[in-house]
């Protein structure tokens, strides 16, 4: 009995991908898990998908930078307050 693996079709251009499923090195996007793609459409999709992912990562990076900066300012303020109280205690003003 012959095994019919079927014809894999590109999700973009509807042409055969010349591959036969994930186990046979089909082209699926590692970023969005889209596919299967033919080689030509995969290249185009990969560039566009990576651009979108990169833009999202830049936005997240900026958000995290602001969070770290805020945390740093907060930590600096807390440290300054602690030092001020400690100096007051050493001078005998803290009791």
31 in a domain, yes or no?
Answer: yes
pLDDT tens profile 1-50: 334 456 899 999 999 998 876 667 889 998 898 999 999 999 999 999 98
Please count the structural domains in the chain: 1
Cis peptide before 36 (omega within 30 of 0): yes
Answer yes or no: are the C-beta atoms of 12 and 36 closer than 8 Å: no
- Residue 28 maps to a domain: yes
Is residue 50 a part of any domain in this protein? yes
Nearest one of 9, 3, 34 to 21, comparing CA atoms:
9
Inside any domain, residue 1: no
- Angle of CA points 42, 46, 51, to nearest 5°: 155
> Does the residue 44 lie in any domain?
yes
Domain that holds residue 65: 22-90
**R_g of the chain, CA atoms, integer Å:** 28
Query: Whole-prediction pTM value?
Result: 0.52
Q: Indicate whether 85 belongs to any domain.
A: yes
Domain-embedded: residue 13:
no
């Amino acid at each position: 009995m012959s095994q019919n693996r079927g014809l894999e079709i590109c999700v973009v251009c509807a042409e055969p991908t010349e591959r036969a499923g994930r186990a046979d090195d089909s082209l699926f996007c590692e970023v969005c898990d889209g596919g299967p793609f033919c080689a030509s459409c995969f290249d185009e999709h990969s560039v566009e998908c990576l651009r979108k992912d990169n833009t999202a990562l830049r936005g997240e990076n900026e958000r995290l930078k602001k969070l770290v900066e805020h945390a740093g300012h907060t930590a600096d303020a807390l440290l300054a307050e602690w030092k001020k109280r400690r100096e007051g205690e050493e001078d005998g003003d803290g009791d």
